Structure 1
Amino acid sequence: MHVLHQSALASMLVLLVLAPEWSVATASSQTPADTTRRDSSAVVLEELLVRVGRPVATAGGASAVSVRLDLTRTPPAPTLDQALRNVPFVQVRTNSRGEAQLSLRGAEARQVAVLVDGVPLSLGWDGRADLAGIPVGGAGHITLVRGLSSVLHGPNVLGGVVEVDVSHGSSTEREEEPLRARAGLDHLGGHAFGATAALPVHTARGELGIRGGAGFRSRPGVAGFGELRENSDLRHVDGFVSGRYVDRTRGWAALSAFASRAERGVPPELHLSRPRFWRYPEASRSLLALSSGTGQRQTPLGRGDLEASLGVDLGRTEIQSFRGRDYQQVVGRELADDRTLTLRLLGDHTLGQWAGLRTAATLADVRHDEVLDPGGSARYRQRLWSLGSEIAAPLPGGGRVSGGLALDAADTPESGDKPPLGRLAAWGGRLGANVPLGESVLLHAAASRRARFPSLRELYSGALGRFVPNPELRPERLLAGEAGMTARIGALELQAVAFHQRLADAIVRVSAGDSRFRRENRDQLRSTGLELLASGGWRGAS
C-alpha cells in the first residue's frame, strides 16, 4: 500500500514538471457554469449554486447545495471538512477519535454517503469517512443533497449525499487553469501550501484533460482558551492525478486517484474519568476511481445511457495509546489495514415520450486487518449490495412525479474471533412530486423509507479497551418526509423546506460501566426542522 501512495505522488510530481505554459492564477470571479444534474435546477447565490427543482428520476423534495470550490473561501490545499464548513445546513465537528464528521438534519455521519466520482468512501470499516483525510484540491465542485433524493446511491444512504466531482461525467464546460498555487500562514504558526496543474489535449476524435496537484498542511495545534489545545498538532501531505477523455459522441472515460498521509494528535477528553491519550503516527489513505459512460444513445426503444464506476480504497492507521498526559509511556497499539472495493452500475432509459426509468446496482467488499498490542491479530470482512430502480412521469400542468424501490443486503463472512453476523436484508422506497405555480414558484414534497446496516466497527471493535463489542446490533430504519417551496421574486431567491424524520432501532452509545461504552439499538429518534434560504443582489452587491 505504501507503494501505491508513492506511485500516486510520483505521478503527480511528474505532471507538475512537464505541464507547459504555466502561469500563476487566482480564483476566477466569473459566473459559474450550470453544472446542475438533470434532476434539479439552480438558484444562484454569491458563492453557491442552490439546487432544488425539477428532477427527472426523483421528482420533488430533492433540495441540494452545490459549491464551486474556486469561488469559495477555503484555505490552501483544502480537505473536505474545510470545504463543507462553507455550506449552509451542514454541521462539521471533530469526534473523540480526532476525525472530522458531518451531521445533516439530525442524521449522523454513518447515515450520509460520501461519493468521489461516483465511488462511495463511506462503506468502509467504520461506515463513515474522515472528512479531514479527503483532499479536495482537485475537485471542481461539491454537491450536498439534503435528505434522501434517490434510492440509487447504494446501501446505507439515509440522511443525505455528499458528491465530490473531480473528473466524472461528460461535461467539458469546466475551465482549467494551467497552474494554480496558493499558500497561507496563520497566527499560531500553522502553514499550508497547495498547487494544481492542468494539461488539455484536443484531438480530432475528442478531448483529453490531465490534471494533478499536491498539498501540504502543518499546525502546532488548535487554539484553545489562551493557549493551544493539548495534543492537537497535525502534519498532512497529499497528492492527486486525474484524467478524462470525452469523444465526439459524448461517450467518456475518467480516472482519478489521490493519496494522503497524516501524523496527528487527538485532544484528550479531560471531562471523562478515563480519557484517551492517543496519537496517530500514521493515518494514510489512497483512492483509485475508474468510471466510464456511453452518453445518451439511440436504442430501439428510445434513448438511454449506461455508466459504470470501480473504486479501490486503501487505508492504513496506526494508533498509540499512552498512559498519561506526558505522552511518554505507550500502553497499547493498534495497526489496521483497510481495503474497500466497490462497483456501481447506473443506467437510464426513456419510457415513451415523457417518462423515464433509472436503475442502479452497487456492490461493496470491505476488509479490515488489525493487529492489537495487547490483543493479537484479526481479520474482518463485510459485503454489502443494493439494487434500486426509479420511474418518473409528468403531471398535468408541468409537474412531475417519481417513485422508486430498492433492496439492500449485507453479511459478515469474516469476523475475527467473534460470531459472524448473518445475512441481513431490507427494502427502501421513495415517492416524490413537484408542481409549478406559474413561472416563479415550485412546490415539492417527498416521503422515503431506508435502512442502514451496522458497520464492522460498531459490531466488533473494542477501540483499545474503550468499547464493548456488540455483534447483535440490528439495522437502523429511517422514515422521512419533507415539503418545500422555491420561489423567485424579482432579484430575490427564496427556498423553504420543512422536514420530519423518525429513526427506529437507532444505534447509540451507552455506558457499559468501568468507564467503557457499548453500542445498542434504541427504540426511536425523531428530528423535525425548517430550512430557510434566501439570496439576492442589488447593484452588484449580493
Structure 2
Amino acid sequence: MKYIHLSLLSSVLLPAPSLAQTIDPAADPETSNTSIVVTGNRATDPMPLDRIGGSVTVLDEQILDRRQVREVSDVLRDVPGVAVGRVPGQTQLRLRGAEANHTLVLVDGIEVSDPYAGEFDFGTLIADEASRIEVLRGQQSAIYGSDAIGGVIQYITLDGRDAPGAVARIEAGSFGMVNGAARIAGYSGDLDYALSATLNTTDGTPGARNGTRDLANDSGAVSLKTTFAPSTNARLTGVLRYARTNAEFNDSDSDPGSPTFGFQVDSPGNRFENEAIYVLIRGELDLLDDRWTQAFSAQIADTRRDGFASTGRSYGSEGQRLKGSYDTTLRIEAGGLTHRVTAALDVERERFRNTDPTGFAFTGRRQIDNVGLVGQYAIDLGDRASASASIRRDWNDQFADTTTYRLQASYRIAAATRVRGAVGSGVKNPSFYELYGFVDGRFIGNPDLRPEKSSGWEIGIDQSLFGERASIGVTYFESELDEEIFTSFPPPNFVASPGNRDTVSKRNGVEVFGEARFAEAWRVNGAYTYLRSHEDGAREVRRPSHTASLAVDWRAPKDAGGVTLVARYNGETIDSAFIDPSFVPVRVQLDDYFLLNVNADVRVMDNVELFGRVENLTAADYEDVFSFATPGRSFAIGARARF
C-alpha cells in the first residue's frame, strides 16, 4: 500500500490512527552447504540452498537465539535488500525498494497479510523459542501469485522432531518491558507436536517527536503445529495460530493554525486491537518410491482490527482469506541428471467488511475470487549446475487475467566459485482499502484501479575463501514497476485518492555479504546494500540508499556462554510530511542513524542459562517515519530453562 500519510491517516488506514549463496551471511557455518529451503520453489520437495539461482537468505535458530531476537523485524535489518520502517500499528518491510504490500508473508505456510490492508504488521510477530526465517528477494509471482511481486518472507516454527523438549524464557527490562516465551515439543511414534506461546508487554516510550505520552503495547501469540505420519509415504500436518495485539497510538495534529500541524502529537485515549486466527491443514502423499510427491492444503486467515479514541470505538475492519492448493512434483533421474516437473493449483477467496461505526463508510461485505495455475520445470546437472523455469496464469473475477514467469540458474565454475542469476515478472492486485476504503474528508478509494506489474533481473557471484572459513558474495539487481498505485490530492478539496501512474518506477542496486570464522570461538557476518529507487522521476520515500549490518559473535569453550555485538546502519532517507494546510505532502529528509546492540549469555547449569542485552547502546535519536519517535537505550535481563 502506498501510504497517503501515515502520521495523518494511521488511525483510519490501519490499526494505529537464503541469498542462494554457498555460505549465507546469516546461515549456520556448520550447515550452510547443505541447508534446504522450503520457500524457494513450488516443488513439493525442499531445495538445497546452493542450487537456487535467485537471492535467498536463511536466518536459523542459532542466529535468532544469539542475537536475542524478540521482534522479528529487528533481525530482518541484517538481511541484504531489506529496509524496516517501525511505527505503532504498522511496522513495514520493503524488499529492494518495493512497497511494503509487495512482500508475501507466510507463517508456517499460511498467508498472514491482512486482506483489508493488503500487508502484514511485523510489529506483531514476536520470535518463538525454536524458529527460522527464509527471505526470498525478487519477483516471485510465478510461484506464489499476487503479493509476491517484491519477494517472500516465511517465518517457520520448528516441529517436534527437529527441536524436541521443553523450554521457557522470561525477561524484564527498560520501559516496563516483560517478555516471555514457552514451548513444549516432541514426538511419539507416528505423531509429532510443538506447542508454543509468546508474550511481549511494555509500558512504552513517547511515540511523538517532543511528546511525553508513553505508548504501551501488549502482543502475544499461541501456536500449535502437529504432524501425523501413519506410513513412510503419507503425512498430515495441522497448524493453528492465534495472535493478538493491544497497543496505544497517537494522531497527527490536524489544526492548520497549530505550530505542530502535521506532526505526531500526544493523543490520550487512542489505542487499537488486532486479532487474528490462522489455520492450515496439509496432506502429503509420496508414490513411485518417493519420485512422485503431491500435497493438498487448505488454509484460513481471519483478521479483525478495531481502533478506539477517548470517546469510544472509532474505526474497524474484518478480513478473511480462504485458500485451497494442490501441488504435485514428478522427479526423474537419468544419465546423471535430475528432472523435476511440478504443477500446482491455487483457489483463493478474499473477503472484506468495513466495520467503521461512524456511518460514513459502506459496511457491506465484498469479496474477490482468484484461480492460479502453476507449471514449473527444474533440472540438476550433477553438483555443478541447476536451473528452473516457472510460469503462472491467474484468473481473477475483479481484474484482468495475468501471466507471470520466473527463470533462475546456478553454475559452479570452480569448487569455491558460483555464479547465479534470475529473471522474472510479478503482479500485485490493489488492496480492498485502495479499492473501496472511505474516510470522510480524508480518503476515497478507487474501484477502477488496475494491478501493478513488475519485471526484473539479477546476477550474482559467491566466492568461498580459506577452505570455506570465509566467503563473500555480490548481487546486482534491476526492476521496473508499471501501473504503480500512488495517492493524489486533486483540487479543490484535496481529498486523497489512489490512482495508477502512467510512468515507470525504476529500482536497481547492489547487495554484498561477507562471512568469516576464526577457530571455534569467533564468527563475523556482514551485509551491505546500495539501493537506487525512483518513482515518477523522483526518489521514493522510506528507502535508504545505504544500509549495512555487522555481527560479531564470540563463544566460550564448550558453549558455556558468549557475547554477540550487532551494529546496524540505516542511511539518510526522505519521507512525506503533511505539514502544509493544503494536505499536499512536503518532502522532508530523515537523518541516517547507527544502532549498536550487545548481547551476552552464560550457562549456570546444564539446563539453565542467564542472559542480558543492551539495545541502542549509543542512545541514537532517529526516526524511520517523519515525526514518529523511536526508543532510546534499553536494558534487559532474563533466564531460560530447558527440560
Matching residue's letter, 1:303: R
Q: 1:318 to 1:217 in 2, by over 3 A?
A: same
What is the alpha-carbon distance in structure 2 between the residues aligned to residue 369 and residue 281 of structure 1?
Answer: 17
Q: Does the Cα contact within 8 Å between 1:76 and 1:182 map onto a contact in 2? A: no
Q: Which residue is equivalent to 1:408? A: 394
Instruction: Tell me the number of residue pairs that the alignment of Structure 1 and Structure 2 aligns.
Output: 472
Q: Give 1:53's match in structure 2, choosing from 38, 50, 55.
A: 50
Shift of 1:448: 0.7
Q: Which residue of the partner structure matches residue 81 of structure 2?
A: 89
Structure 1 residue 359, shift from structure 2 partner: 1.9
Are the counterparts in 2 of residues 76 and 183 from structure 1 also a CA contact under 8 Å?
Answer: no
Give the Å deviation of 1:360. Answer: 1.9
Q: How do 1:29-428 residues align onto structure 2 when only pairs under 5 Å count?
A: 35-37=35-37, 53-55=50-52, 60=53, 62-72=54-64, 78-94=70-86, 98-122=89-113, 124-137=115-128, 140-148=131-139, 151-166=142-157, 172=161, 174-186=162-174, 188-189=175-176, 191-203=177-189, 206-222=190-206, 228=212, 230=213, 232-247=215-230, 249=232, 251-270=234-253, 273=262, 279-294=270-285, 296-298=286-288, 303-320=291-308, 328-329=310-311, 333-351=314-332, 353=334, 354-372=338-356, 373-375=358-360, 377-394=363-380, 398-411=384-397, 422-428=398-404
- 1:504 aligns with one of 458, 474, 482: 482
Distance 1:285 1:210, change over 3 A: same
Residue 146 of structure 1: how far off its partner (Å): 1.3
Letter in 2 for 1:510: S
Shift of 1:541: 1.3
Aligned letter for 1:537?
R
SS in 1 for 2:37: coil
Which letter maps to 1:241? Answer: L
CA distance in 1, matches of 2:222, 2:315: 26
**Please, what is the CA RMSD of the aligned residues?**
3.2
How many angstroms does 1:144 deviate by? 0.6
- The residue number in structure 2 matching 1:534 is 514
Q: Which residues in structure 2 correspond to 1:443-522 (within 5 Å)?
A: 443-463=419-439, 465-490=441-466, 491-513=469-491, 514=493, 516-522=495-501
The correspondence for 2:414, drawn from 432, 438, 452, is 438
Following the alignment from structure 1 to structure 2, what is the Cα–Cα distance between the partners of residues 292 and 182? 36
CA offset at residue 247 of structure 1? Answer: 4.9
How much has 1:532 moved relative to structure 2?
0.3
Counterparts of 1:458 and 1:521 in 2: how far apart (Å)?
11
Partner secondary structure for residue 110 of structure 1:
helix
Shift of 1:113: 0.6
Report the Cα distance in structure 1 between the residues aligned to 2:440 and 2:164, rounded to whole angstroms.
46
Cα 1:516–1:40 change in 2 (3 A) is closer
Q: 1:533 offset after TM fit, Å?
A: 0.2
Distance 1:275 1:379 in 2: 33
Taking a change above 3 Å as real, the CA distance of residues 288 and 216 of structure 1, as seen in their structure-2 partners, is same
Q: TM-score, normalised by structure 1?
A: 0.78
Secondary structure of 2:50's partner? Answer: coil
Residue deviations 1:19-38 (CA, integer Å, cap 9, x gap): xxxxxxxxxx9956854137
CA offsets per residue over residues 144-168 of structure 1, 9 Å max, x none?
A: 1111357222333111111121257
CA distance in 1, matches of 2:283, 2:125: 22
- 2:346 corresponds to which letter in structure 1? T
CA offset at residue 246 of structure 1?
Answer: 3.9
2:590 aligned residue = none
CA shift at 1:535, angstroms? Answer: 0.5
**Structure 1: stretches of 5+ with no match in the other structure:** 1-28, 42-50, 323-327, 412-421
- Note closer, same or farther for the CA distance 1:88–1:446 as it changes in structure 2 (3 Å cut): closer
Deviation of 1:128 after TM superposition, in Å, equals 1.2
Whichever residue aligns with residue 238 of structure 2, its letter is L
Q: Distance in 2 between matches of 1:387 and 1:456?
A: 23
How far apart are residue 380 of structure 1 and its match?
1.8
Shift in Å, 1:70 = 4.8
CA contact (8 A) 1:210 1:242 kept: yes
SS at the partner of 1:72?
A: helix
Amino acid at match of 1:387: L
Give 1:6's aligned residue: none
Aligned partners of 2:295 and 2:326 also within 8 Å: yes
| Greater Cα offset, 338-347 or 130-139 | 130-139
Amino acid aligned to 2:476: A
Counterparts of 2:35 and 2:206, CA distance in 1 = 36
Contact kept, 8 Å, 2:425 with 2:455, in 1: the verdict is yes
- Give, in angstroms, the shift of residue 244 of structure 1: 2.3
Provide the rounded CA distance (Å) in 2 between the counterparts of 1:410 and 1:92: 31
C-alpha separation between the residues in 1 aligned to 2:99 and 2:66? 24
Q: Which secondary structure state, in structure 2, belongs to the residue aligned with residue 471 of structure 1?
A: coil
Measured after TM superposition, the shift of residue 329 of structure 1 is 4.8
Between the aligned partners of 2:113 and 2:191, the Cα distance in structure 1 is 32
Q: CA 1:464 to 1:166, structure 2 compared with 1: closer, same or farther past 3 Å?
A: farther
Kindly indicate whether the alpha-carbon contact (under 8 Å) linking 1:407 and 1:427 is maintained by their aligned counterparts in 2: yes
Alignment-mate amino acid for residue 519 of structure 1: P
Tell me if the contact between 1:77 and 1:217 (Cα under 8 Å) persists in the aligned partners.
no
Q: Are residues 52 and 37 of structure 1, via their aligned partners in 2, closer, same or farther at CA, if it must alter by over 3 Å? A: closer
What displacement does 1:222 show? Answer: 4.5
For the 8 Å contact 1:133–1:285, the answer to whether it is kept is no
Cα offset, 1:465, TM superposition: 4.2
The answer to whether the Cα contact below 8 Å between 2:456 and 2:478 also exists between their aligned partners in 1 is yes
